[in-house]
Amino acid sequence: MIVREDERLVVSGQLTMSTVPALFASGLQQLRSADLRVDFSQVEAVDSAAVGMLLGWSRAAQHSQRKLHVTGLPEDLLSLARLYGVAELLPQQSA
C-alpha cells in the first residue's frame, strides 16, 4: 500500500509480484507531477519485483527530470539488488 503523508509517500506491507504492479503505477503517477520522496520503512517483505519497481521509478524520474528520494530501504531489498548486481543503480537513500 502507498499512502501520501505531507510531502512523502509511505510504502507499507509486502512488495511482491502480486502487489508491485499497482504500486508501480501509483508511484509513476506521482512522479509525473513532482519530485518524489518515498519512505520504505514500513515494508514487511520483498521479492525481486520490489527491486524492479524501484529501478523503474528511478528510470522514470530521470526521464522526466524529477528527483527520487528514498528512505528506509529494507535490507532484504538491498541484498537482492547486490545479488543481481544492480545495487549501484538504486537511488541513494536520504536521511
Q: 47-80 pLDDT, tens per residue?
A: 999 999 999 999 999 998 989 999 999 999 999 9
Of 47, 63, 49, 55, the closest CA to residue 91 belongs to 55
- Whether CATH 3.30.750.24 fits 2-89: yes
Reported as a pLDDT band with limits 50, 70 and 90, residue 95 is low
80 to 38, 53, 74: CA distances (angstroms) = 19, 13, 10
Whole-model pTM?
0.89
